[in-house]
Homo-oligomer: A and B are copies of this chain.
Amino acid sequence: LHRPGPAAAGWAQDLRRSALEDMLVATARPDVISLALGLPCEDLFPTAEMGESVARVLASEPRALQYAPPLERLREFVAGLMETRGVRCGPDEVFLTAGAQQGMSLLTRLLLDPGATVVVEAACYPGFLQALAPLSPRIVAAPSGPERGLDVDALERMLASGLRPALLYAIPDGHNPLGVSLPAESRKRLVELARGHGFPIVEDDAYGRVSYDDDGAPALRALDPEWVFHLGSFSKTLAPALRTGWIVAPARFHRALGSLKESTDINTTTLGQRAVADFVARGLFEPHVATLRAEYRRRRDAMLEAIERELPEGSRWSVPRAGFFTWVELPGGADAMAVLRVALERERVAFVPGEAFAAGDAPPARSALRLNFSHGSPESIREGVARVARALGAVSAREATHG
């Protein structure tokens, strides 16, 4: 008698490795210029200062490696930091996490009952969809575009037609993948819809401080301290491997968040969190962010100039006011997956095609691509965009011949 081995739960059996994932493995090859991933630039990490912070922590805190409750002085610092995002909150509203991704994981489990409906933007950060997968909610995509972000008019019509979301997920600043920041007027109306229809917003602000204008709009949380759950992170401003981020949420949810966090990885202060707390206590954070913003702005400008110069007429792209990405819509219905194939094989350049960000029932953006400008130097960005343009040219010529 053959007995089969253990089986994964239903949601996990549905996981498929996509052709896209297989292709993106190729982006790790050293001869490929990658505009694909969303990595911060490691040359900009404050590695030496962080090493000093670890050494200081280990020398001065006998219990630095012990189980310990969340670090009060880091919560206080984050509460102050939120003022730079227009948000007034107390340390008792700051819940520390192992990064913004963990914030998503905790908030989806905190807020969703079985069978719930979740609204996301039609081009959606895949990590949020991954967090939803084990919960199997109904996913509804609201229209969103690279020029104005989430289409609040369309959302209002959907709500008027009976949509009853248990939560809405949005990236109002430096949108991943669209590279857009939501206009102030849309923010105001979005929060009014949340209040009026009674659904919480999960605001992903991972890129909020990596902004290229001095006058960015305040975070959604600035407009409503009750219905907006705000996610922040030091992954883009300090370094990802420290795994330190936060949720800003009404204090009455912190007990349940604490239980969820404890069940996920023990709600204990990590060495990374202690190092971050020491780093910020030394006054190093704001000067570091200023350096980052200047350097990433230089890279953004290099990319926008190259796109303007290299891509064919009829292309459209976002002009990011924050974040790591721009989004390009190719003219003539070009097939971005076909372009990626040629780009990888002949031109040695990688990007992520728009369809990788498809959510729910929204039609995938087959003629779009996401380009990253945070990781490479301005020179490699310029060369990378030129290669993408050549790959697009080759695909267009082939289609003209065959079509």
Contacts and interface: CB of A to CB of B under 8 A. Distances in A.
Contacts of A134: 109, 260, 263
A98 interface: yes
A10 interface: yes
Contact of A51 (B40, B48, B55): B55
Interface stretch (A237-245, A291-299, A342-350): A237-245
Nearest to A59: B51
Contacts of A259: 12, 15, 130, 133
A265 B195 CA distance: 29
A50 B65 contact: yes
Interface centre among A48, A51, A64, A259 (most CB of B within 10 A): A51
A326 interface: no
A157 interface: no
A102 B265 CA distance: 5
A214 to B, nearest CB: 28
Contacts of A241: 64-68, 268-271, 274
Interface stretch (A110-118, A303-311, A317-325): A110-118
Contacts of A99: 265-266
Nearest to A166: B9
Given A55-B55, A98-B98, A260-B134, A39 B17 contact: no
A8 B42 contact: no
B58 A47 contact: yes
Chain copies in the assembled complex: 2
Interface string A236-266: 0011111100000010010110011011111
Contacts of A9: 109-113
A311 B45 CA distance: 58
A25 B84 CA distance: 35
Ranked 7 nearest A-B pairs via Cβ: A65-B239, A130-B263, A12-B256, A6-B200, A131-B263, A51-B58, A98-B265
24 contacts: A5-B226, A6-B111, A6-B199, A6-B227, A37-B67, A39-B66, A45-B65, A47-B58, A48-B58, A51-B54, A54-B58, A65-B238, A65-B240, A65-B242, A66-B240, A98-B265, A133-B259, A134-B260, A240-B268, A270-B270, A270-B272, A271-B271, A271-B272, A272-B272
